[in-house]
Amino acid sequence: MVMEIYKSAEDYLETILDLTKRNGSVRSIDIANERGFSKPSVSVAMKNLRQNGYISVDADGLITLEPQGLAIAKKIYERHVVLRNWLISLGVDAKVAAEDACLIEHDLSAESFEAIRDFVTKNPS
Amino acid sequence: MVMEIYKSAEDYLETILDLTKRNGSVRSIDIANERGFSKPSVSVAMKNLRQNGYISVDADGLITLEPQGLAIAKKIYERHVVLRNWLISLGVDAKVAAEDACLIEHDLSAESFEAIRDFVTKNPS
DNA sequence: AATATATGTTAGCATAAGCTAACTTTTTTG
DNA sequence: CAAAAAAGTTAGCTTATGCTAACATATATT
Q: Give the tens place of pLDDT for each residue, B18-42.
A: 999 999 999 999 999 999 999 999 9
Substitution target in B80, B84, B86, B104 with the highest count of A β-carbons within 10 Å is: B104
Reported as a single tens digit per residue, the pLDDT across B55-66 is 999 989 999 999
Note the pLDDT of residue A123. 78
Contacting A with CB below 8 Å, chain B residues are 87, 90-93, 96-97, 99-100, 103-104, 107-109, 111-112, 115-116, 118-119
What are the backbone dihedrals phi and psi of residue A62, each rounded to the nearest 5 degrees, phi first? -80, 135
Note the pLDDT of residue B123. 79
A96: amino acid identity, one letter: V
Q: Distance from first CA to last CA of chain A, Å, rounded?
A: 44
pLDDT category at A125 given cuts 50, 70, 90 is low
Q: Do A96 and B111 touch (CB under 8 A)?
A: yes
Percent of chain B with pLDDT over 90: 90
Helices A7-23 and A39-51, packing angle to 10 deg: 100
d(CA A25, CA A44): 19
B17: CB within 7 A of chain D nucleic strand = no
**pLDDT at position A3 over 70:** no
What value does the mean pLDDT of chain B take?
A: 93
Choose between A44 and A6: higher pLDDT: A44
Q: What is the mean pLDDT of residues B1-30?
A: 88
pLDDT category at A1 given cuts 50, 70, 90 is very low
pLDDT category at B1 given cuts 50, 70, 90 is very low
Contacts of B112 in chain A (CB under 8 A): 87, 90, 92, 96-97, 100
Reported as a single tens digit per residue, the pLDDT across A25-63 is 999 999 999 999 999 999 999 999 999 999 999 989 999
SS3 A49: helix
Helix, strand, coil in percent for chain A, rounding step 5: 70, 5, 25
> How many CA atoms, within 13 angstroms, populate the side-chain half-sphere of residue A47?
6
CB contacts < 8 Å between A and B, how many? Answer: 58
Reported as a single tens digit per residue, the pLDDT across A65-116 is 999 999 999 999 999 999 999 999 999 999 999 999 999 999 999 999 999 9
To the nearest whole Å, the CA of B28 is away from the closest chain A CA by 27
**pLDDT at position B15 over 50:** yes
Which of B87, B90, B107 lies at the smallest CB-CB distance from A103? B107
Q: Do B112 and A97 touch (CB under 8 A)?
A: yes
